[in-house]
Structure 1
Amino acid sequence: MKTFDETIRLGGGLVHHGKQNDRIYVLKTPQEGMERFILQLEELADKNGYGKIVAKVPAPEEGWFLEKGFVEEARIPGFYGNGSDCAFLVRYPDGERQVLRRGEHLEDVLRKAKEKEGMLYMPILEEGFHCRQALESDAGDMAALYRKVFASYPFPIHEPDYIRETMESHVAYFGIWQGERLVGLSSAEMDLAEGNAEMTDFAVDPEYRGKNLASTLLHVMEAAVKDRIRVAYTIARAASHGMNATFSRHGYAFGGTLRNNTQIGGAIESMNVWHKRLQ
């Protein structure tokens, strides 16, 4: 059985780490003791030989990390409930991990995506298709579609129990069905306290690509969460023409590239951050 990275409490912060992504990902920083927290991150990275540390850091706390050699790779304005930006600050214990692979291709993807800014095309689902919020009873079919689409993923969305667990806490999943067949999926991972949501976990059955299903899912998710969420964002595969173009069309602004950041589709890939104000 594949072992996924784990999420732990560390020094008052919330950290996701493991060898699958070969990194530490700081999801939440502690409210106090920042200098000690950063030292604990360095110790954890050294102990496990991780190649990258990436941290989501509120703007007022950036200085602690910058003084320790972290640099900014991306930023989301007004991310937190108090209006502070979120900076994605990184360090590379493994210098080779910092080298951007396929740089020309990634630049081409980003350029073409930005050219589509404001060119929103909202497709109408073909007859026999319908879109709705997913239920716990759908978890088995959802996990099967994620297994079909992704050879690897940073979180265990291939497992029905994980999908049910996140449904019960903070994630709203949405799907598109042709009749009884599930053909497209996405999710809104919500932080209601801070008023932001990650639009993520997009997967379309390879037999149904080219029908703009991801665009439909994004439109439906935004409508579902906009009364509770101020800022929507995504961390999209930098090499994907389709996903980057979809977010650009929907009015998302480019926030930066996280280099060699995430294990997805069987390899460590660079990821683009996109963001949008919903309120």
Structure 2
Amino acid sequence: MKTIYYENRKIKETHFIADTCFDYYSERLRADDYRGNVTLFAEWLEEESQKNNFHKIIVKSKVDDVSYWQELGYVNEGEFKGYFNGGSAFAMCKYLKKERRNSEYWVDEDRILSDVIKIPKGAKNLPLPSNYLLRMADIQDAKSLAELYGEVFEVYPTPMNDAEYVRKMIESGTLFCVIEHENRIVSAASADVNETYNNAEITDCATTPEHRKFGLMKHLIDQLEKELFQRNIYCSYSIARALSFGMNAVFHQKSYVYKGRLANNCKIFDKYEDMNIWVKDLSV
């Protein structure tokens, strides 16, 4: 029996409707969109979180509702600028367990971010070596992509090491860009497209250790941005492990702007990790 990592649910109640994600693996409840009575919706979120033993609630709030969520005890952990067809989404968060709220690594992550921001933006990519091939992926690549993610990540918030799961992602519209070396995928990244609000999350960034010295991820991100721009999607964002100097440096150099940090947001490797929000306006 396969583990259920998460479940997307459309909620329709008398006084509100919402698009939610029940994230069983990372023990959190996320609302990506909602409309209606904020107070009643907040009560529902807390009840469902307690039923499922979730420790964190995340609501993507429109700017006009931020003060309502703050009055209900939510904390603003960051901004997804341009998320709602040009309007910002704010990550309003509430914790139901003190251990989930407290981050052991916050000061270290501040130091990493400070070092990252000192790096000049817009540095040119290293040329892609002649024996590496960059291309967009298709369904036939699902197995190879799953093998890559299984090799790079021992623990990951979604089952990217499952070829069937990856295949369904590609079929549902997620864009994958890959780099091959000797007919083997050695680096990949994806753009998870939200067609309702015309934004995309750059995610699932992975490179095998022996190929990390060539700056392959920058080439992948450039190509994904071109694909998004052609689809008139101008809000590109990512959440990167706050403890990873390398990935944060990549987004900073690619002119993404730091917009906040999500505390103990999801399970990666051996623990809950804080995640930095990076946002870019592709129309500029």
Using the size of structure 1 for normalisation, the TM-score is 0.94
Counterpart selection for 2:127 from 121, 124, 129: 124
Q: Secondary structure at the match of 1:162?
A: helix
- Report the 3-state secondary structure (helix = DSSP H, G, I; strand = E; otherwise coil) of the residue aligned with 1:193: coil
In structure 2, the partner of 1:9 is 10
The 1-side partners of 2:200 and 2:210 are apart by 29
Unaligned runs of 5+ in 1: none
Instruction: Tell me the SS of whatever aligns to 1:209.
Output: helix
Aligned length: 277
Cα deviation digits, residues 49-82 of structure 1 (max 9, x gap): 221111212222323322211110001223211x
Match of 1:47 among 43, 47, 51: 51
2:276 is the alignment partner of 1:272: yes
Q: In the alignment, what sits opposite 2:196? A: 193
- How far residue 7 of structure 1 moved from its aligned partner, in angstroms, is 2.0
Superimposed CA distance per residue, residues 167-202 of structure 1 (whole angstroms, 9 cap, x where no aligned partner): 122310010001211100100111133221111110
Letter in 2 for 1:13: A
* Distance in 2 (alpha carbons) for counterparts of 1:229 and 1:46: 36
Match of 1:63 among 47, 67, 87: 67
Overall identity of the aligned pairs, in % = 29
Instruction: Give the structure 1 partner of residue 81 of structure 2.
Output: 77
The corresponding residue for 1:21 is 26
Q: 1:117 to 1:273 in 2, by over 3 A?
A: farther
Q: Tell which deviates more after alignment, 130-139 or 114-123.
A: 114-123
Aligned partners of 2:124 and 2:107: how far apart in 1?
27
Contact 2:23–2:30, Cα closer than 8 Å, also in 1 = no
Task: Return the alpha-carbon distance in structure 1 between the equivalents of residues 47 and 208 of structure 2.
Answer: 41
Contact 1:230 / 1:278 at 8 angstroms: preserved in 2?
yes
Q: Alignment RMSD, CA only?
A: 1.5
Residue identity in the other structure for 2:281: R
**SS of equivalent residue, structure 2 residue 213:** coil
User: Partners in 2 of 1:87 and 1:126 — Cα distance?
Assistant: 40
- List structure 1 segments (4+ residues) > 4 angstroms apart after TM superposition: none
Provide the rounded CA distance (Å) in 2 between the counterparts of 1:251 and 1:56: 23
User: Which one-letter code corresponds to 1:182 in the other structure?
Assistant: I
Find the aligned partners of 2:64 and 2:259 in 1 and give their Cα distance.
18
